[in-house]
Amino acid sequence: MRFAVFRKPVSVIYEKPAFTKQSKKGTVSAIADEGLYGMTCQVLGREDGWAHILMFYGYAGYVREENLFFMTETGLRDYLSRELAVVEAGCADVLSLPAVQGVCQMILPGGALVEMVPGQPEVDGYTKVRLLTDRWQSYPPHTGQEQSGRSYAAGRQSGAAAGESRFDLVGYVRTQHLGKKRFGEDFLWREAEPVAAAQETISVRSREAQGGAAGFSLAAVLERFYNGSEGRFREQLEAEARRYMGVQYRWGGKSPQGIDCSGLVCTAYMKSGVLIYRDASIADGFPIRRISREDALAERLKKGDLLYFPGHIAMYIGEGRYIHSTAHIGSGGVVINSLREGEADDRADLRECLYAAGGVR
């Protein structure tokens, strides 16, 4: 298997190896998803400057090769063993110094991953981080020692093969902008071709799918990250979704620059410790289990459960209300609406076509 790490703040992932496609509306973008800095993927193939990839959360697509660092499995496992943090702010500057006057070396979007340099104390509210940049020519050893002016000869011993690269540059990010990485990389180690092929039919089967993933344990997630409290987990889901309030709607988007409906809920679940399907579909093999439409309309739901409409998805946050990213005229982004008929923020058009709900149990 071959693997890669996203090297740019936001990289577009396309449905096919092309930037556009034809539809009833004419020529439109072929965007399917976005990969954020530091995220990982399995590489299924490479041709004509395109890489066919499977994201760590089980979503396939195509990305331009210049957006990726290619690695062997040994190199990737070394990368994932490092102390990675998630950017929680809408964006975070990586500065050359632990001070606001430092030179900005990169701007990372919310949801990106960045490596914290081990053994380095916080300085004036800043955390020292190590970036992937074009300065270095081989994969550095896993140490806290920084070097300058030459490539790491020891890189070959940590998994990089000839022609692969990982580059090293340190900087500083405000500690308050970084949070705990709670998710794993489940789909990196699976046989990827069947997963990618199955993606093509998931949306078709979504109305009948029951959902659920063999071996998934919500209790294990709760024990690891929430001291066993399901309530804390569900509060976290809502808090992660609310970070994107007011962000514009962007088809295929998954960052604070622009986000779509499934990008919002997928990211909120991911940052809370659970990997769910990226599209607005109920998919077997993922940990969301179906809840009936009747139970959803009767509000027999838990905070963080999902609402499914044709081509759209939202997150229930209690008291008949849900948060979602919508392109609806007058909204155009992440907003909160109501399931209750007659309320000022009721979306009757959505309530009437709701076909199911889903949740982790």
Give pLDDT tens digits for 17-69.
Answer: 999 999 999 999 999 999 999 999 999 999 999 999 999 999 999 999 999 99
Best CA proximity match to 61, nearest among 78, 41, 75: 41
Mean pLDDT over 151-159 rounds to 35
pLDDT at 236 over 50: yes
Q: What is the mean pLDDT of the chain?
A: 90
User: How far is CA 330 from each of CA 43, 264, 327, 347, rounded to the nearest angstrom?
Assistant: 40, 19, 8, 12
* Overall size of the chain counted in residues: 361
- Closest to 141 (Cα-Cα) out of 165, 126, 159, 161: 159
Burial 99-111 (b: 16+ CB within 10 A, else e): eeeeeebbebbbb
Which of 136, 137, 142, 188 has the alpha carbon at shortest distance from 162?
A: 137
Question: Are 109 and 91 within 8 A, CB to CB?
Answer: yes
| CB contact set of 350 (below 8 Å; sequence gap of 6+) | 309, 312, 314, 337
Mean per-residue pLDDT, 103-122: 96
Phi (first) and psi of residue 208, to 5 degrees: -100, -20
When pLDDT is cut at 50, 70 and 90, the band that residue 169 belongs to is confident
Backbone angles phi, psi at 343, to 5 degrees: -75, 155
pLDDT at 141 over 80: no
Model confidence band, residue 343 (pLDDT cutoffs 50, 70, 90): very high
pTM of this structure: 0.90
Query: Of 76-90, 92-106, 145-159, 265-279, which range is least confident?
Result: 145-159
Strand ranges (E), 104-155: 104-109, 113-116, 126-131
Q: Name 284's Cβ contacts closer than 8 Å, sequence gap at least 6.
A: 205, 209, 210, 211, 212
Mean pLDDT of 98-118: 97
Q: Which of 24-33, 146-155, 159-168, 321-330 has the lowest mean pLDDT?
A: 146-155
Tens of pLDDT along 123-139? 999 999 999 865 433 44
Window from 43-52, 199-208, 229-238, 266-275 with minimum mean pLDDT: 199-208
Residue 184 pLDDT > 50: yes
